[in-house]
Amino acid sequence: EAQVTQNPRYLITVTGKKLTVTCSQNMNHEYMSWYRQDPGLGLRQIYYSMNVEVTDKGDVPEGYKVSRKEKRNFPLILESPSPNQTSLYFCASSLSGTAGNTIYFGEGSWLTVV
Amino acid sequence: GQNIDQPTEMTATEGAIVQINCTYQTSGFNGLFWYQQHAGEAPTFLSYNVLDGLEEKGRFSSFLSRSKGYSYLLLKELQMKDSASYLCAVREDSGNTPLVFGKGTRLSVIA
């Protein structure tokens, strides 16, 4: 089954404690990205990657890092989480980043930073 | 700059038809997507328009007018399970550029 898998799905952590949210897709997609979704603000892109070893900042990259060492994986790293990073996070992938290629979303990761 | 506008909330009756509008002002245009998102779940793809006109897919249709920077999603024969948020998203150019999402329209279907 074609899917985008994120882990963990739910996490409560403390300020400053580094965490990684993993993302994996099994569709051989080149393009992967991370979004955060907050009430009243909609989906905002954090980082995206057009292919292995190629990453770019989205609209809200501050406080986040990513890496793309393999095609299927695109982890999101919060080096020193802060309460304003409490959000619902979605990983997404598509065949490429162009034109009509549909974006497939993971199930989401609820992150709370206290 | 980029700006995508949708109504925040709408309510409609089971069995009825509802139209959700989306207007956009972006530096370029290379396609518009509609996604459905149930509360706490991932967005799922509904439709894609790149040329003017109406695309029909079962109970859902999507319309695009590029000259007006306008799209709508039409839902017919509404069912309770259609209660969800509907997200309009625009791709600004033909390269590997991110989708820009509107804030979504929360639709409530009532009996």
CA distance B99 to chain A (A): 8
The verdict on B94 touching A (C-beta cutoff 8 Å) is yes
Instruction: Tell me the per-residue pLDDT of B48-65, one tens digit each, with 9 for 90 and over.
Output: 999 999 999 899 999 999
Has residue A99 got a pLDDT over 80? no
Instruction: Tell me the per-residue pLDDT of B71-110, one tens digit each, with 9 for 90 and over.
Output: 999 999 999 999 999 999 998 876 666 788 999 999 999 9
Distance between CA atoms of residues A62 and A58, nearest Å: 10
Name the nearest CA neighbour of A5 among A81, A107, A110, A111: A107
Contact criterion met (CB below 8 Å) for A41 and A60: no
Name the nearest CA neighbour of A67 among A77, A80, A79, A78: A77
Distance between CA atoms of residues B6 and B45, nearest Å: 17
Identity of the residue in A40, A43, A106 whose CB atom sits nearest the CB atom of B101: A43
Instruction: Tell me the per-residue pLDDT of A10-35, one tens digit each, with 9 for 90 and over.
Output: 999 999 999 999 999 999 999 999 99
Instruction: Tell me the per-residue pLDDT of A40-49, one tens digit each, with 9 for 90 and over.
Output: 888 999 999 9
What pLDDT, on the 0 to 100 scale, is given for residue A97?
Answer: 61
What pLDDT, on the 0 to 100 scale, is given for residue B29?
Answer: 87
| Contact check, Cβ <8 Å, B96/A96 | yes
- What's the pLDDT band for A113 if we cut at 50, 70, 90? very high
Q: Please, is B97 exposed, middle or buried when counting C-beta atoms within 10 Å of its C-beta (0-12, 13-18, 19+)? A: middle
**What are the structure tokens assigned to B61, written together?**
């249709």
Q: Which residues of A touch B91 (CB under 8 A)?
A: 99
